[in-house]
């Protein structure tokens, strides 16, 4: 690479100086006193539950609430009251700050108990009520002891035991909580017998207390699975405890670091992945109870030694008591024809529920190891919930998204002995081993030229060795209850419901809009006040409902797949192009994540929230590398989530994670965002232009070509988030936000310049000597507009604002207008409908009515969806399709995401200036 001209370096130095001065000024603002008076929308805030039923049997919930700039000092305290004015204990902490130091986002944790039933809660400034039974954390001994006031968990600091015991009062309910991993070193062929498996146990390397009460405590456990000298499959476990609760939540993350080579049968194949507890069994066999969740709140309700249905009747009261899970009266009071023959009634110690697909589960049981299994029932979709214990107490347990992330399994073993074991299998050992090998042999695509030819037929950007799962991750959520007796059927149903849909408090859309978070003015509440607005709202509803239904019809489920959607439809086969290169899994292409989250922000709809939640969990974990050479990069859309050779920062984009983090304070998503702060270093690792370059290229850390669109938007979102969170690297992150904004603004053509030479050590762009025009239709469709709207609101940098508004003004302009402004036009562009939201934003910022008119013209009559699109589905039945359902062959995810974002933002910005 040729050296950077001296003039460019001098310009860069001037830009850096200006950015440094501006950074210093903001630093001073950070330290300023913040007014104590509340701004509009600041206080009070009504919090409501996403779904009916309130907190139910869940241990607690945490909600994020935004505040307008300057509304609250960083040390402001908050109180919560219920519908009757009663005080609800709450624990509050800051999630983010405005540049003036005031609170931007706060998190509020409430626990089970008075006031957290089914009604709305009110959040105000004030002194928080303290719980009658606080969460306490004692780290002084060999374990970390967490007490909710009802149960106490002893968490191991090392070794293979995560949770040494869970007690309720003086009764030990569970012990020896640990992780289990079964490795199969070889894939079975059809004509081959069973292949041996190896068991690995979780080995703890670090334990951190992240919160210690009084309402909420969080303990993080890190380690790897170990067998002998071999360690692999890193894990991060977070345990959540709430005051006064008899339960706790576990968030379980694994990162895949095994080896599986295409075309080879040997490798690191996961045969089973689970969480296991030992449960002491103190009661007589007839007072030991098994509960297995079926469909909905359905339950298999049995005793280890059943006394119902016998040839001799112990008495109606005895039978009823056992079915209800109550302690039975002394057998001396039963019909003695039963009592004297108890030893002949089998003890059923082992139960298994296996959900090997999204559409079917089976339950079976046996007396003990070495004896035959018998079928105990089955159905379509199990709740992922169970219980084992007796009249003196027992453990309830559940795995969230059980059937959605199949193959999953629940095992109860040895319930007839003094110690039962419970295993919640995230990957069922009865399923086929986890096969993550690349799906084809390369088909001769050994050179870049051949790979580009392949791209031109299947849209797959293939490269040998790049279709690897090494470094991808997956997060699962589990719940456990320590019961002092076998719960009633009603209580068990409430516990199962909490497993299926974890209760979540939420701030109303109006509060989000007034606080001006996630891009001020870009979204507003749904409005059907005119026929034109109503039609757009109907279209938005249609598109969401269609994708929601397609998840079910097309069975977009599975451990690695759940949460993603497909990219493009194949109308000839009446299926999505699940097996065709880059047309298959979407992997956030053109930002469906943003569409869904903005749809939620404006509506508060629970179904949209849950859809977006699943997508955030998936795209942030499975589509991104967290270990290895490509850590910090994500994978372009493809047949497998990791298959495509385009490893890019835009897929790991922090923009897509911010919503869920700030709305729920989820620590795991917080980890993902923090990990991206240094993702600019990934540009040294992989040259995104390697297949089309004609000149030799060696990356220079002082002069990396970084695009101002997809590249920079991904980087600046991570930096902005770290800055506003005041994370460990927030000062560095702030400096990079400001220096890169200033660097873009200083370019001869601003954003239209297309890219700049970036210095990894200084975080600055060199200023180009000559103006250039390099505009891509992709630059602004991975969150650039939404991020720039935030940055312009946060940072008073007129030149940056001017540069961005110029980009907005000229993307959808005529070629003549572009040439008049920049000396040449932008070439052949696409996605005008999606870019209409840039016109709308610029129209509001500049007050230009011509831009407002053009925004609606491009929205209604350019590309993408139009009013003349069908806006309906066609019914599909056999033999045209595998499963009866519906199709909208005219729908594509690219168009859907862009239409959705343009519709939402145009309505918010220019809803009062729609054409007649």
Q: Is the pLDDT of residue 133 over 80?
A: yes
Q: Is the pLDDT of residue 22 over 90?
A: no
Q: Give the rounded percent of residues in the chain with a pLDDT score beyond 70.
A: 94
Q: What angle do CA 276, 277, 281 make, to 5 degrees?
A: 140
- pLDDT recorded at residue 112: 83
What integer is the mean pLDDT of 502-509? 97
DSSP state, residue 104: E
Closest C-alpha among 229, 236, 174, 176 to residue 204: 236
**Strands laid side by side in the 103-111 sheet:** 60-66, 103-111, 91-97
What integer is the mean pLDDT of 304-331? 97
- Tokens representing 474? 């997956």
Closest C-alpha among 602, 535, 528 to residue 860: 535
DSSP state, residue 162: S
- pLDDT recorded at residue 118: 79
Task: Give me the residue label for tokens 């992709």.
Answer: 778
Arithmetic mean of pLDDT over the chain: 94
Digit-coded pLDDT (tens) for 773-783: 999 999 999 99
- Tokens representing 595? 């569409």
pLDDT band at 642 (very low <50, low <70, confident <90, very high): very high
DSSP symbols for 630-685? TTT-EE-SBSSTTT-S-EETTTT-THHHHHHHHHH--HHHHHHHHHTTTGGGGGGT
Q: Is 309 helix (H, G, I), strand (E, B) or coil?
A: coil
Q: Is 138 helix (H, G, I), strand (E, B) or coil?
A: strand
Digit-coded pLDDT (tens) for 240-297: 999 999 999 999 999 999 999 999 999 999 999 999 999 999 999 999 999 999 999 9
Ramachandran angles phi, psi of 436, nearest 5°: -110, 20
CB < 8 Å & 24+ apart, contacts of 376-379: 376/300, 376/302, 376/351, 377/294, 377/300, 379/294, 379/295, 379/298
Task: Give me the residue label for tokens 């870009």.
Answer: 522
CB 567 within 8 A of CB 892: yes
Digit-coded pLDDT (tens) for 191-200: 555 678 999 9
Q: Is the pLDDT of residue 41 over 90?
A: no
Q: Give the rounded percent of residues in the chain with a pLDDT score beyond 90.
A: 92
Task: Give the whole-angstrom CA distance, residue 649 versus residue 905.
Answer: 25
Rounded to a whole number of angstroms, the distance between the first and last alpha carbons of the chain is: 55
CB 548 within 8 A of CB 891: no
Q: Which helix (H) or strand (E) holds 235?
A: strand 230-242
Task: Indicate if the alpha-carbon torsion angle 563, 569, 574, 577 is positive or negative.
Answer: negative
CA distances from 843 to 799, 849, 856 (A): 18, 7, 11
CB neighbours of residue 398 within 10 Å: 27
What integer is the mean pLDDT of 107-128? 88
Q: Is the pLDDT of residue 25 over 80?
A: no
Q: Is the pLDDT of residue 763 over 90?
A: yes
Which region among 5-9, 109-113, 521-525 has the lowest average model confidence (pLDDT)?
Answer: 5-9
Digit-coded pLDDT (tens) for 143-172: 999 999 999 999 999 999 999 999 999 999
167 beta partners = 152, 172
pLDDT band at 517 (very low <50, low <70, confident <90, very high): very high
Question: In the chain, helix, strand, coil percent, each to 5?
Answer: 30, 25, 45
What integer is the mean pLDDT of 477-491? 98
What integer is the mean pLDDT of 10-30? 40
Closest C-alpha among 491, 429, 100, 122 to residue 276: 429
- pLDDT recorded at residue 195: 74
Task: Give the whole-angstrom CA distance, residue 624 versus residue 627.
Answer: 9
User: What does the buried/exposed string (b/e) look like for 659-691 if buried means 16 or more CB atoms within 10 Å of the residue's CB?
Assistant: bbbbbbbbbbbbbbbbbbbbbbebbeebebeeb
473 beta partners = 255
DSSP state, residue 131: P
- pLDDT recorded at residue 17: 44
Task: Give the whole-angstrom CA distance, residue 475 versus residue 466.
Answer: 23
Q: Is the pLDDT of residue 487 over 90?
A: yes
Name the burial class of residue 296, with classes exposed (0-12), middle (13-18) and buried (19+) by CB atoms within 10 angstroms of its CB: middle
- pLDDT recorded at residue 9: 36
CB 643 within 8 A of CB 460: yes
- Tokens representing 115? 């006031």
Digit-coded pLDDT (tens) for 411-468: 999 999 999 999 999 999 999 999 999 999 999 999 999 999 999 999 999 999 999 9
CA distances from 59 to 245, 247, 395 (A): 5, 6, 14
CB 512 within 8 A of CB 521: no
- pLDDT recorded at residue 19: 43
Tell me the residue length of the chain. Answer: 916
């Amino acid at each position: 690479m040729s050296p950077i001209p001296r003039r460019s370096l001098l310009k860069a130095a001037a830009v850096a100086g200006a950015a440094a001065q501006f950074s210093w000024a903001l630093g001073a603002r950070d330290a300023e006193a913040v007014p104590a008076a509340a701004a509009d929308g600041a206080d009070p805030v009504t919090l409501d539950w996403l779904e009916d039923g309130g907190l139910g049997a869940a241990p607690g919930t945490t909600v994020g609430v935004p505040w307008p700039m300057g509304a609250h000092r960083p040390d402001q305290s908050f109180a919560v009251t219920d519908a009757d004015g009663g005080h609800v204990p709450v624990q509050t902490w800051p999630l983010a700050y405005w540049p003036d130091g005031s609170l931007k986002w706060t998190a509020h944790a409430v626990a089970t108990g008075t006031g957290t039933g089914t009604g709305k809660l009110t959040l105000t400034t004030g002194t928080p009520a303290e719980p009658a039974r606080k969460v306490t954390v004692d780290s002084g001994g060999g374990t970390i002891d967490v007490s909710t006031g009802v149960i106490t968990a002893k968490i191991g600091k090392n070794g293979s035991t995560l949770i040494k015991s869970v007690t309720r009062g003086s009764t030990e309910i569970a012990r020896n909580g640990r992780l289990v991993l079964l490795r199969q070193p070889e894939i079975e062929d059809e004509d081959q017998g069973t292949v041996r498996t190896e068991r690995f146990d979780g080995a703890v390397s670090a334990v951190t207390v992240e919160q210690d009460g009084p309402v909420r405590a969080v303990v993080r456990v890190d380690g790897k699975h170990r067998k002998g000298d071999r360690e692999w499959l890193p894990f991060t476990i977070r345990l959540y405890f709430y005051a006064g609760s008899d339960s706790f939540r576990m968030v379980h993350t694994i990162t895949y670091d095994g080896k599986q080579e295409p075309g080879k049968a040997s490798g690191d194949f996961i045969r089973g992945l689970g969480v296991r507890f030992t449960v002491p069994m103190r009661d007589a066999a007839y007072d030991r109870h098994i509960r297995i969740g079926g469909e909905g709140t359905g339950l298999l309700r049995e005793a280890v030694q059943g006394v119902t249905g016998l040839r001799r009747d112990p008495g109606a009261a005895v039978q009823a008591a056992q079915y209800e899970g109550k302690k039975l009266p002394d057998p001396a009071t039963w019909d003695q024809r039963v009592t004297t023959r108890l030893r002949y009634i089998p003890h059923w110690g082992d139960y298994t529920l296996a959900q090997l697909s999204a559409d079917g589960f089976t339950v079976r049981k046996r007396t003990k190891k070495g004896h035959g299994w018998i079928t105990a029932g089955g159905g379509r979709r199990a709740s992922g919930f169970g219980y084992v214990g007796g009249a003196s107490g027992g453990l309830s347990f559940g795995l969230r998204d059980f059937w959605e992330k199949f193959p999953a399994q629940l095992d109860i073993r040895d319930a007839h002995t003094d110690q039962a074991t419970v295993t919640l299998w995230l990957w069922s050992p009865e399923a086929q081993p986890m096969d993550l090998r690349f799906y084809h042999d390369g088909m001769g695509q050994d050179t870049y030229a051949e790979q580009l030819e392949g791209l031109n037929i299947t849209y797959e950007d293939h490269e040998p060795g790049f279709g690897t799962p090494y470094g991808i991750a997956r997060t699962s959520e589990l719940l456990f209850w320590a019961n002092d007796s076998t719960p009633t059927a009603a209580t068990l149903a409430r516990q199962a419901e909490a497993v299926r849909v974890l209760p979540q408090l939420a701030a109303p859309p109006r509060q989000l809009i007034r606080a001006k978070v996630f891009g001020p003015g870009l979204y507003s509440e749904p409005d059907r006040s005119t026929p034109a607005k109503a039609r757009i709202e109907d279209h938005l509803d249609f598109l969401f409902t269609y994708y929601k239904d397609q998840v079910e019809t097309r069975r977009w489920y599975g451990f690695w797949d759940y949460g993603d959607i497909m990219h493009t439809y194949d109308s000839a086969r009446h299926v999505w192009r699940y097996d065709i290169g880059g047309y298959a899994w979407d992997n956030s292409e053109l930002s469906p994540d943003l569409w869904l989250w903005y749809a939620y922000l404006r509506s508060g709809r629970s179904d949209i929230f849950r859809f977006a939640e699943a997508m955030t969990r998936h795209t942030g974990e499975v589509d991104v590398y967290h270990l290895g050479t490509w850590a910090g990069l994500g994978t372009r859309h493809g047949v497998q989530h990791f298959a495509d050779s385009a490893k890019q920062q835009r897929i790991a984009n922090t923009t897509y994670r911010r919503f869920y983090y700030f709305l729920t304070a989820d620590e795991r998503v917080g980890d993902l965002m923090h990990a991206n702060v240094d993702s600019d270093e990934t540009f040294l690792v992989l040259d995104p232009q390697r297949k089309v370059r004609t000149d030799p290229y060696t990356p220079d850390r002082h002069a990396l070509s970084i695009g101002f669109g997809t590249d920079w938007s991904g980087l600046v979102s991570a930096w902005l988030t770290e800055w506003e969170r005041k994370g460990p690297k927030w000062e560095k992150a702030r400096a990079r936000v400001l220096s890169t904004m200033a660097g873009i603004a200083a370019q001869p053509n601003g954003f239209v310049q297309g890219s700049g030479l970036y210095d990894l050590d200084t975080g600055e762009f060199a200023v180009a000597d000559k103006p250039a025009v390099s505009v891509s239709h992709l630059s602004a469709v991975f969150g650039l507009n939404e991020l720039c709207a935030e940055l312009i609101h946060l940072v008073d940098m007129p030149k940056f604002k001017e540069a961005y508004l110029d980009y907005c003004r000229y993307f959808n302009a005529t070629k003549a207008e572009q040439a008049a402004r920049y000396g040449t036009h932008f070439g052949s562009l696409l996605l005008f409908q999606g870019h209409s939201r840039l016109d709308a934003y610029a129209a509001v910022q500049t007050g230009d009515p011509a831009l407002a008119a053009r925004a609606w013209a491009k929205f209604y009559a350019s590309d993408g969806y139009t009013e003349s699109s069908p806006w309906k589905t066609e019914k599909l039945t056999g033999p045209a399709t595998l499963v009866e359902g519906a199709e909208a062959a005219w729908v594509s995810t690219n168009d859907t995401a862009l239409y959705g974002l343009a519709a939402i933002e145009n309505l918010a910005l220019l809803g009062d200036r729609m054409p007649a």
